[in-house]
C-alpha cells in the first residue's frame, strides 16, 4: 500500500512540475517541443515502476572522453590556425610592402604559439631585389616589433 502511495505522489509531483514548466514558456514552436518531451517524461515515469529494474539512462559516454582524440583534435586545430594566420599575414605584408613601392617577389612567414596560446610571427623571409635594409625597416615599421627574425634575399637566392 505504501508503494502505491509513493507512486501516486511521484506522478502528482511530476505532473505539477511539467505543468508549471509549460505555463512558464511563451507560445511558440519551442513550447510544442517541450510539451512533447514532457509527455515522454511523464509516460516513462508511469511505466517505470512496473518494469522489473526500472529505466536507467546511462550517460557514461559523455563522462569519459577519449583524451588522445581530444589532444589530437586540439593539435590539428592549432596547426590550422597557425597555417591560416601565416597565409593571411603573408598576403597582408606583401600588400603593404608593394604599396610602399617595394618589388616583392615572394614572402614567407613562420608563426608559432606563445605560452599564452597566442599566434605570433617568429620569422619572415622576403625575396626581393630591393635594398635589404629598407625592406627590414619597412617591415619593422609595419609590424612594430623587434623580436622577429627578418631575412631579405635576392631573387637569385630563392
- Regarding whether 31 and 89 lie in a shared domain, the answer is no
Q: Would 92 be classed as within a structural domain? A: yes
Tell me which residue range forms the domain holding 80: 69-157
Contact call for residues 148 and 124 (beta carbons, < 8 A): yes
- Regarding whether 23 and 88 lie in a shared domain, the answer is no
Give the CATH number for residue 113. 3.30.300
- Regarding whether 73 and 133 lie in a shared domain, the answer is yes
* pTM of this structure: 0.54
- Regarding whether 95 and 42 lie in a shared domain, the answer is no
Least Cα distance to 109 among 88, 128, 135 occurs for 88
Mean pLDDT over 13-24 rounds to 80
Interval 60-114: pLDDT, tens: 555 666 778 878 888 888 889 899 999 999 999 999 999 999 999 999 999 988 8
Contact call for residues 127 and 105 (beta carbons, < 8 A): yes
- Regarding whether 147 and 110 lie in a shared domain, the answer is yes
- Regarding whether 131 and 74 lie in a shared domain, the answer is yes
Long-range Cβ pairs for the range 132-137 (8 Å, 24+): 134/102, 135/97, 135/102
Domain count within the chain: 2
- Regarding whether 78 and 41 lie in a shared domain, the answer is no
What does the alpha-carbon distance between residue 93 and residue 85 come to, in Å, rounded to a whole number? 12
Mean pLDDT over 12-26 rounds to 80
Task: Tell which wins on pLDDT, 47 or 78.
Answer: 78
Amino acid at each position: 500500500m505504501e508503494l502505491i502511495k509513493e507512486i501516486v505522489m511521484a506522478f502528482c509531483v511530476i505532473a505539477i512540475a511539467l505543468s508549471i514548466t509549460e505555463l512558464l514558456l511563451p507560445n511558440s514552436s519551442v513550447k510544442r517541443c517541450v510539451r512533447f518531451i514532457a509527455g515522454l517524461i511523464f509516460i516513462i515515469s508511469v511505466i517505470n515502476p512496473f518494469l522489473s529494474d526500472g529505466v536507467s539512462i546511462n550517460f557514461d559516454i559523455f563522462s569519459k572522453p577519449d583524451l588522445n582524440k581530444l589532444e589530437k583534435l586540439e593539435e590539428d586545430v592549432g596547426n590550422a590556425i597557425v597555417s591560416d594566420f601565416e597565409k593571411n599575414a603573408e598576403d597582408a605584408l606583401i600588400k603593404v610592402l608593394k604599396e610602399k613601392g617595394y618589388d616583392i617577389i615572394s614572402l614567407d612567414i613562420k608563426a608559432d604559439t606563445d605560452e599564452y596560446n597566442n599566434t605570433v610571427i617568429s620569422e619572415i623571409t622576403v625575396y626581393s631585389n630591393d635594398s635589404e635594409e629598407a625592406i627590414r625597416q619597412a617591415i619593422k615599421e609595419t609590424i612594430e616589433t623587434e623580436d622577429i627574425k627578418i631575412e631579405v634575399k635576392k631573387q637569385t637566392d630563392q
